[in-house]
A and B are shown apart, each in its own frame.
Chain A
Amino acid sequence: MGAFRNSPRRSTAQDNHTLREAPRLGFDPRNLGARLLMWSRSDLGATMNGSTVSDWADSSGNGNDFSQSTAIEQPTLASAGLGGRPELTFDGSNDAMDGASFVGMVSAADDWMIVIVVRDWTWGGNVQLYYARGVLGTVGGGVTRSNVGVTSEAGAGLGFGLWNATDGHVQAYGDDSQAQGAAAVMVGVCDAGSLTMRVNGTAGATAAGTTGLHSGATTLELGKGNGNVANWNGAVSELLIFDGVLRTNEVQELEAYFSNRYGVRV
């Protein structure tokens, strides 16, 4: 005890200064107000098959990995993507990865959020999103049950949507100012069934009052999405799905994190 009393750790002004100036702990989307169901980022958890990716692990702890066991359909891991970080590149012909069931992982079919960071994409071939180009969707039934992607240049651009028997096709788009290939932090919010797409921090018009995901919105497909859309021709840096809707300030914090991490203007 005497030795302890005689040699306490000194707490100096310099120590305290150092503590105050220490960098904030890393942003962790698992600590936000809605449970994180899936979190795949291209600098973590990619199982390589040569230069292509056969498995993209979920960092949320829920095991919702993406995988592709056919070499010809595997995306490529490029080393110099957004923010100087790696990214998965999809070639627009047949690259795609399958994941868990979307409707199976959410607690409520009408309350969820998708966040996806993309760049270097090309326009789809149709003004309707569900016939254009998909970056993430569900393949249950072979046709659109949910989709995130981009229309043709003549359409409304980056957006997301769903189909169910009650509401039919409902799509929501971000602001239509993005140039082809622009880096984009896409946040698709389904809040009590109302769909809003935020692109780089700006929300588009809300499509109100859907009943949410159809029971057939099952297997997630990254790089395409369903039988009606063309494959993604571009890069994906990060993907998250939340079980519920974050508060506006949390969404903005998330967007700020991606802006800083990937150098995207939000």
Chain B
Amino acid sequence: MSVQWLVLATMGAAQARGGDISAAMGYPRPATRTDRASLPIEHPTSGKGAVPIKDKVWSWVDVGLVDMASLLTDAERAALCDRAEMDAAGWFPAPPPPDEP
């Protein structure tokens, strides 16, 4: 299982789309202490937002594991980014040197 990311223009847009996907999977679900399907992240400098997408995530609508990509539009699926693409775009800055907190 690997994560891909749906990149959107703003963090607000990512939160909204992430909320749509969560609702389509039956979240939030307090009975199982689960608030959402996926938690969007924000680019450190650009203001963009991205929704993590993974296969084999539990859906209470389907009552089974689903591939979250199946809930996206064709255009969204085609635009999904993998880790290498996210790294190249600066989403995950390199860690600091070993002895610097």
Contact = CB atoms under 8 A, between A and B. Distances in A.
Interface of A: 47-52, 54-55, 67, 69-74, 91, 93-94, 128, 130-131, 141, 143, 163, 165, 168-169, 214, 216, 227-228
Nearest to B22: A71
Interface in B1-55: 1-3, 25, 27, 29, 32-39, 52-54
Contacts of A52: 57-58
B95 to A, nearest CB: 4
Contact of B3 (A67, A93, A141): A93
B91 interface: no
Given A50-B64, A71-B57, 17 more contacts: A50-B58, A55-B33, A69-B33, A70-B34, A70-B35, A70-B36, A71-B27, A71-B58, A72-B52, A93-B1, A93-B2, A93-B3, A94-B3, A94-B52, A94-B54, A131-B98, A168-B98
- Chain B residues touching A, range: 20 to 34
Contacts of B35: 69-70
In the complex, which of the residues A51, A54, A72, A228 has the most CB atoms of chain B within 10 Å of its own CB atom?
A72
Contacts, number: 82
A50 B54 contact: no
Nearest to B100: A143
Interface SS majority for chain B: loop
B32 A165 contact: no
Contact of A49 (B3, B38, B58, B64): B58
A172 to B, nearest CB: 16
21 contacts: A47-B32, A49-B34, A50-B32, A50-B58, A50-B60, A50-B65, A54-B33, A54-B34, A67-B33, A69-B34, A70-B39, A71-B34, A71-B36, A71-B57, A72-B57, A72-B68, A128-B98, A131-B95, A168-B99, A169-B98, A169-B99
Interface string B56-76: 011110011100100000000
B38 to A, nearest CB: 5
B96 A143 contact: yes
A55 to B, nearest CB: 5
A49 B37 contact: no
B36 to A, nearest CB: 5
Given A72-B38, A94-B3, A49 B101 contact: no
B50 to A, nearest CB: 12
